[in-house]
Amino acid sequence: MPAASVTSSPLAVAQARIQALEAELREARAANQQLSLGSGLAQQNPNPVLRYNAAGERTYANPAAVRLRHQLGPLAAAALRVQLRALAVQSLRDGRPHQTELHYESHGLQVSLVPSVATGYVNAYVVDVTARHQAERQMREQQAFYERVLDELPSQVAVFGPDQRYCYLNARSVPDAAERRQWLGKTMLDTAGFMGRPPDVAARRHDLMAQAVAERRGLEWQESYPEPDGRVSHFLRYYQPVFGTSGALEFIIAYNTDITGRVQAEAQLREQQRFTALVLDTTPNVIYVRDLDQHVLFQNQACQLLRAEMLPLQALAQGSVAAGERRAYAADDARVVQNRQEIVTEDCLTLPLGEVRWYHTVKRPLLRPDGAVHVLGVSTDITALKQAQYTLERSEKRYRDLMHYAQALIFTCDLNGTLLSANPMLAALLGVSAAALPGQPVAAYLVAGDRLVFAGYLERIAAAVAGEAEGVVRVQGPTGVRHLLYRNVVVREAGQAPYVISHTHDITDRVLAEKATQRARAEAEATARARENFLANMSHEIRTPMNGVLGMTAQLAKTHLDARQQELVRVVRASGQHLLAVLNDVLDMAKITAGKLELEQTAFNLCDALGEALQPLAAQAQEKGLSFEAWPLRASCPVPWVVGDPHRLIQILLNLVSNAVKFTEEGSVTVKGEQVAETATAVTVRFSVADTGPGIAPDKQALVFESFAQAQADTARRHGGTGLGLSISRALVEQMGGALTLTSALGAGSTFAFALVLPKAEVPAEAPAGGPAPYDTGRLAGARVLLVEDNEISRTVVRMLLEPWGALLDEVPDGPAALARLATAPPYDVVLMDIQLPGLSGVDTTVLLRQLPDPRRAATPVVALTANAFRADGERYLAAGFNDYLAKPYDETELHHKMVALLPPPAPAYDLAHLRRLAQGRTPFVLKIIRSFLANAPTSLAQLRAAAAAHDWAQVARVVHHIKPNLLALGIMRPVAAVALLTSRPTEGPFDDRAPALAALLAAVEQALCELPAELPI
């Protein structure tokens, strides 16, 4: 129809509207009819049914929905209403059904929404699934519970289907859940590799499972196989097939339990049982289990041996000793069973041969699982203990008898000093009864002065510092103070208080005797000290002037003397040497008598020693017209190097040979040395001196070895001597380990002989030359020497010795003056120190010198000039700080050697370094200066000597001043101090300073003249 006609016809519009309304009415009627039909069904539905329109308004709810609202309660019902409305609107909007589950507290609701787009409503169907959910949850919980139980089992559990494929495995079988899922549906052969087991193990299990199914029974077996770490694992496996009611196989349950621990425990148990059996059989104790009928149910090896030993006694009569002992054993067993308590007994067992043994037995009830009570017995052989107890009892009786009858003083006391016991001898000494002493303090009987000492001893014991102690204590007795020598022992025993045992002797008589001896010893020592002081003073008083006599004589012999004067000097020197020999003999005898003679132990040549002793005496024998014959030692001792004291050996030979020469007026003297034995480490040498003199009567032969004794009364008057030579020689030989013998007869001469065993010494590479070593008189030129000497003569001797050597000598008379010089004057090279100085001694002066703050001055070398000839004195000087010592009268050679040994190394004679710097490389200029010095210096030296001889010191100064530039140019620096002294004004300085200075200058220039030619070309 055209639009214009429609729009223009109101009737047509109205008709169309009426038609539409009629259609809607028909549909509404149909719907109402359908709704009536549906409402009837919904009303009968046990589940809630609801309808919602497009606006979300509920238009219908069946009775079940109303009941659900009451069941949910107000809050849950309101929440459900809001959620259903929202779901209904959403379902109509989407135009499709919706299904969901809603949960309110303990209720679960399944909601299905079916929309009708044409009518604009939604039907909501609600099903209460709470019971289903609870059932499902319970089923899940039950399943989880069983699975957890299976997983927590200590065994591996698996379930196989009829086809032997895995249906289930617990966590013990395969810990990893993902891996367990992979195993499901697989066979054991498929999973053998995963378990690290060999394929044959899986195949064997497969066969056993088939066997269990075939035999329709459970099958159990044990498997063992090594693990990768080397351990061996043990498992108990079990297959159980399960059949249904129809008899068909439904599944197979497999159990696998790790029994490694059990297997190891069983092995340990077996080992422990074996060990226990071994211990029981090894122990000497007798161990057994008996019942009330005395039947032995268990016994160790010791019990078996004892029962075997006792077999012969089983048939003895009831009245025998053995039968009585068995009845006693049975009674003890019955008491143990009846009282159910342990008992301890000491049992006596008589053996078939009559030997009695004692056993310490412990018996205790042993309850068995069946309720029976047996007796467990452990018996220890205590026969030795019993015997020891018997011995101890006898010993205690002997001890008591000893305490009672002993003559020693014995007591015991506690650590507080309280007497516990005392024997009758001590009680008698103290004047009390023995019964009254226990409980009394020991200190009550001590002298007051000893009580504190005893208290201190007790304190040390209490502090566990002291144990045994011994000493002397004084006690007050009825007869006065008694001295007791005690020895105390502290006894500490477990479970008992410690105590002291004292064993004491009365030594009062010995103490008094010792005091008397001490007084006598003190008097003897005082006498010895007085003798030593006398000898030391005598030595000093003789040696000091003797040093002057011999020293001046030596200097006098160096002057120009006529024959008569030389003879007089020789007599003076010989007389002095004789007097010195007498003094040395007296001192040697004194040292021998005092036991202070010490022997050196040094390597030396026996042939040289014999030659040194014989050389001077051979000339004396020839002067007397005697035949002197010496048998060389070298003939029998090709390498005679030994260890000993060569000086004392020479002294012995000199004494013997000089006596032979002295007492033989005609005939001969024969000296013989020979080696008589040799070992790897020593040689035995025999020396003999024979003469054709008057001989010695047998009754006089012992007398010649005594001190100050001679064979004839007029011997000293006719031949001289002190009578000490043979006595000293015998003492020296004996101290060396030999014996000096004499063979003589009147008119047949005498033979003195001795043999010595001397250790061998290594032969030096080059034997030292014999005789005194020569010395360089210029070595001391310019050396600064300080002489500390109070004796004018001794100073003069030293001055006369040092002047020719060129030493620069300063002299002081005492120690303080020496210390002042040593602290302030230019440093000295050597100090010659007398020992017996007035006031401060030489030893004290040297000690103070070593304490000077300047280390260089404190270290100045010091030589002791002493009149004490004892070696101990020399050692004392060295300990005090001296560098060396020299006994008066001293030989000038020895003095020179000792001084030179203490000087620093000599400076070079010249030094051309300064001259070469001045020449600036012009060698001819240097050579010209050297040649000029070599040509002119000798003339200058001659002028100096002539001026000094004329005491023209002014001329000496002029000559020295003339050569001084040459000395400086050539670097001749050693005589610098001497040049400075000699070029000072002639009136200054004493003569004593200038003469040594000139000697030092001359020595230095002469040494340079000897060495400078080496600088010239050949």
What are the tokens at 57? 């308004």
- Ramachandran angles phi, psi of 94, nearest 5°: -80, -25
Domain of residue 474, CATH code: 3.30.450.20
* Mean pLDDT over the full length of the chain: 81
Asked if the model's pLDDT at residue 645 lies above 80, the reply is yes
For the beta carbon of residue 348, count every other beta carbon within 10 angstroms. Answer: 15
Q: Does residue 588 lie in a domain region?
A: no
367 shares its domain with 221: no
Which amino acid, one-letter code, is at 104? Answer: Y
DSSP bridge pairs for 51: 60, 123
Any idea what DSSP says for residue 827?
A: P
pLDDT tens by residue, 69-105: 888 888 888 888 888 898 888 888 888 898 888 887 7
Q: Does residue 96 lie in a domain region?
A: no
195 shares its domain with 337: no
- 798-804 long-range contacts (CB < 8 A, ≥24 apart) are 798/832, 798/865, 799/992, 800/551, 800/552, 800/555, 801/551, 801/555, 801/892, 801/895, 802/996, 803/992, 803/995, 803/996, 803/999, 804/777, 804/999
At which of 226, 245, 264 does a domain end? Answer: 264
Contact partners, residue 264, CB within 8 Å, separation at least 6: none
Average pLDDT value for residue range 1008-1013: 86
- What is the maximal distance between C-alpha atoms in the chain? 213
Residue that has been written with the tokens 């030293």 in this structure: 798
Q: Are 805 and 998 in contact (CB under 8 A)?
A: no
pLDDT tens by residue, 548-585: 677 677 777 777 878 777 777 776 776 666 566 666 66
- Cα–Cα distance for residue pair 688/633, rounded to 1 Å: 11
DSSP bridge pairs for 475: 446, 482
794 shares its domain with 935: no
Nearest to 671 by CA among 633, 629, 637: 629
- Cα–Cα distance for residue pair 114/92, rounded to 1 Å: 9
| pLDDT computed for residue 991 by the predictor | 46
919 shares its domain with 890: no
| pLDDT computed for residue 593 by the predictor | 66
| pLDDT computed for residue 1011 by the predictor | 85
Reduced to 3 states (helix: H, G, I; strand: E, B; else coil), residue 379 is strand
Bigger pLDDT: 633 or 915?
915
At which of 441, 474, 506 does a domain end? Answer: 506
pLDDT band at 713 (very low <50, low <70, confident <90, very high): very low
Domain of residue 691, CATH code: 3.30.565.10
Cα torsion angle, 422, 425, 426, 428, sign: positive
| pLDDT computed for residue 27 by the predictor | 61
730 shares its domain with 603: yes
pLDDT band at 543 (very low <50, low <70, confident <90, very high): low
Asked if the model's pLDDT at residue 773 lies above 70, the reply is no
- Cα–Cα distance for residue pair 357/348, rounded to 1 Å: 6
DSSP bridge pairs for 486: 471, 504
Reduced to 3 states (helix: H, G, I; strand: E, B; else coil), residue 820 is helix
Q: Are 833 and 882 in contact (CB under 8 A)?
A: yes
Asked if the model's pLDDT at residue 846 lies above 90, the reply is yes
Range of the domain at 815: 784-902
Asked if the model's pLDDT at residue 1012 lies above 50, the reply is yes
- Cα–Cα distance for residue pair 470/487, rounded to 1 Å: 4
> Based on C-alpha coordinates, what's the Rg of the chain?
67
pLDDT tens by residue, 958-989: 998 888 888 888 888 878 878 888 887 554 44
Transcribe 311-351 into DSSP letters. Answer: GGGTTS-TTSHHHHHHHHHHHHHHHHHHHT--EEEEEEEE-
pLDDT band at 1014 (very low <50, low <70, confident <90, very high): confident
CB half-sphere exposure, 800, CA atoms < 13 A: 19
Q: Are 937 and 1005 in contact (CB under 8 A)?
A: yes
895 shares its domain with 804: yes
Domain of residue 320, CATH code: 3.30.450
- Cα–Cα distance for residue pair 158/183, rounded to 1 Å: 11
pLDDT tens by residue, 270-302: 888 788 778 777 788 888 898 888 888 888 888
Average pLDDT value for residue range 220-238: 85
Residue that has been written with the tokens 């497999």 in this structure: 254
At which of 452, 477, 506 does a domain end? Answer: 506
Report the range out of 22-26, 184-188, 277-281 with the highest average pLDDT: 184-188
Asked if the model's pLDDT at residue 831 lies above 80, the reply is yes
Q: Does residue 299 lie in a domain region?
A: yes
Q: Does residue 115 lie in a domain region?
A: no
- Cα–Cα distance for residue pair 93/658, rounded to 1 Å: 162
What are the tokens at 613? 């002793």
Q: In what order do the strands lie in the sheet with 356-367?
A: 296-299, 286-290, 373-381, 356-367, 343-350
Q: Does residue 552 lie in a domain region?
A: no
976 shares its domain with 896: no
- 255-259 long-range contacts (CB < 8 A, ≥24 apart) are 255/155, 255/156, 255/157, 256/155, 256/156, 256/157, 256/158, 256/173, 257/154, 257/155, 257/156, 258/154, 258/155, 258/233, 258/234, 259/222, 259/234, 259/235
638 shares its domain with 664: yes
- Cα–Cα distance for residue pair 128/101, rounded to 1 Å: 10
Q: Does residue 736 lie in a domain region?
A: yes
Report the range out of 347-351, 477-481, 637-641, 835-839 with the highest average pLDDT: 835-839
Q: What percent of the chain has pLDDT over 90?
A: 12
246 shares its domain with 319: no
DSSP bridge pairs for 298: 289
Number of domains in the chain: 6
Average pLDDT value for residue range 599-626: 78
Average pLDDT value for residue range 995-1010: 83
What are the tokens at 736? 């060396």
Q: Does residue 724 lie in a domain region?
A: yes
User: What is the C-alpha end-to-end distance of the chain, expressed in Å?
Assistant: 167
For the beta carbon of residue 788, count every other beta carbon within 10 angstroms. Answer: 28
Reduced to 3 states (helix: H, G, I; strand: E, B; else coil), residue 557 is helix
Tell whether omega for the bond before 889 is within 30 degrees of 0, i.e. cis. Answer: yes
Q: Are 501 and 488 in contact (CB under 8 A)?
A: yes
- Cα–Cα distance for residue pair 647/732, rounded to 1 Å: 11
Residues constituting the chain: 1018
Residue 480 Rama label (left phi>0; alpha psi -120 to 50; beta): left
pLDDT tens by residue, 495-504: 888 888 888 8
Beta strand pairing status for 784-788 and 750-759? unpaired
| pLDDT computed for residue 786 by the predictor | 95
Transcribe 160-224 into DSSP letters. Answer: E-TTS-EEEE-TTT-S-HHHHHHHTT--HHHHTTTTT--HHHHHHHHHHHHHHHHHTS-EEEEEE
Least confident of 214-228, 316-330, 435-449, 654-668: 316-330
Which amino acid, one-letter code, is at 819? Answer: L
Q: Are 716 and 580 in contact (CB under 8 A)?
A: no
Burial class (CB in 10 A: 0-12, 13-18, 19+), 479: exposed
pLDDT band at 922 (very low <50, low <70, confident <90, very high): confident
Contact partners, residue 507, CB within 8 Å, separation at least 6: 472, 483, 484, 485
What are the tokens at 367? 């309850």
Average pLDDT value for residue range 116-133: 83
Q: Are 670 and 748 in contact (CB under 8 A)?
A: no
Contact partners, residue 535, CB within 8 Å, separation at least 6: 586, 587, 590
Report the range out of 474-478, 678-682, 752-756, 899-903 with the highest average pLDDT: 752-756
657 shares its domain with 803: no
Q: Are 613 and 657 in contact (CB under 8 A)?
A: yes
Q: Does residue 831 lie in a domain region?
A: yes
pLDDT tens by residue, 520-537: 888 877 776 676 666 666
What are the tokens at 501? 């045992």
Contact partners, residue 211, CB within 8 Å, separation at least 6: 219
Asked if the model's pLDDT at residue 456 lies above 90, the reply is no
| pLDDT computed for residue 561 by the predictor | 79
298 shares its domain with 260: no
| Helix or strand run (H / E) with residue 758 | strand 750-759
611 shares its domain with 753: yes
Identify each DSSP E strand in 548-605 by its residue range: 602-605
